[in-house]
Amino acid sequence: MTTESMSIFSPALSSRFDALVLKYPIKRSALIPMLLYAQDEIGYLSDAVIDEIAERLSITPLDVRNVASYYSMLRFKPVGKYNVQVCTNISCMLRGAYDLFEHLQDNLGIGHKGVTADGLFSLEEVECIGVCCWAPAIQVNYDFHDELTNDKVDEILATYKAKAAGESTNA
């Protein structure tokens, strides 16, 4: 068991992981949730994240990497503070998702998998996110925004910009 003082995670996440591994008949079942929650806190799956999770589950770092590389939400590189994911799958495509994706590329000045220079936004074209009846839709980090138009999406980006600006003046 990794002690709190040695952990690279916050005390809250560290104790959450301690509890999580006990919920299942086998410890390893906690692997995928742990990777995702660690990524939420650290930003991506760094070598240190992988090593600590491997140790907590008594498996090798290579084994962890092998599993992590399978899942599309898990990443090995940092993204922007707000990761904008645009669904272009069939239901969204029929309701203008490609136009929306193009508009977002113009607005942010970046392409697929790009990150803005200030690190605030990243952009990604993704597969179906399960909001098909309210298309077109995007997901910014974990927040869904549906029934979008170009104007609506501009407003949404402005809200995130304002939120980030507010956070930096408060800090």
Partner 1 sequence: MPRLVSHPDEVKIISKRFGMGATNIDRYIELGGYESTRKALEQGPEWIINEMKASGLRGRGGAGFPTGLKWSFVPKQSAKPKYVLVNGDESEPGTCKDHLIFLHDPHAVIEGTIIAGLAIGSKMGFIYLRGEYRYLIQIMEKAVADAYAKGFLGKNIFGSETEFEVVVQTGAGAYEVGEESALMESLEGKRGVPRIKPPFPAVVGLYGGPTVINNAETIAAVPHILAMGGAAYAAVGSERNGGTRLFGISGHVERPGIYELPMGYNLKKMIYEVAGGIRGGRKLKAVVPGGSSTPVLLPEEIETLGMDFDQVGKAGSMLGSGAVVVIDDQTCIVEFALRTISFYAHESCGWCIPCREGTDWLNKSLTRFHAGFGTMKDIDNIQYLAENMMGRTFCPLGDAAAMPTIGFVKKFRKEFEAHLDGKPCPFAKHLEVALV
Out of 1, 3, 142, 171, name the contact with partner 1 by CB under 8 A. Answer: 142
Question: Among the residues of 22-149, which ranges form H helices?
Answer: 31-42, 47-57, 61-68, 90-94, 97-108
Query: From the centroid of its chain, how far is CA 49?
Result: 15
Query: From the centroid of its chain, how far is CA 138?
Result: 13
Does 24 participate in binding partner 1 (rule CB under 8 A)?
Answer: yes
Backbone angles phi, psi at 111, to 5 degrees: -105, -165
Give min distance, CB of 61 to partner 1, in A. Answer: 14
- Cβ–Cβ < 8 Å for 118, 112: no
Does 22 participate in binding partner 1 (rule CB under 8 A)?
Answer: no
Does 133 participate in binding partner 1 (rule CB under 8 A)?
Answer: yes
Does 1 participate in binding partner 1 (rule CB under 8 A)?
Answer: no
Query: From the centroid of its chain, how far is CA 122?
Result: 10
Tell me the per-residue interface mask from 71 to 110 with partner 1, x by CB under 8 A, - otherwise: xxxx-------------xxxx-xxx--xx-----------
Name the site residues for partner 1 (rule: CB under 8 A). 23-26, 28-33, 35-36, 57, 66-67, 70-74, 88-91, 93-95, 98-99, 127-135, 139, 142-144, 146-147
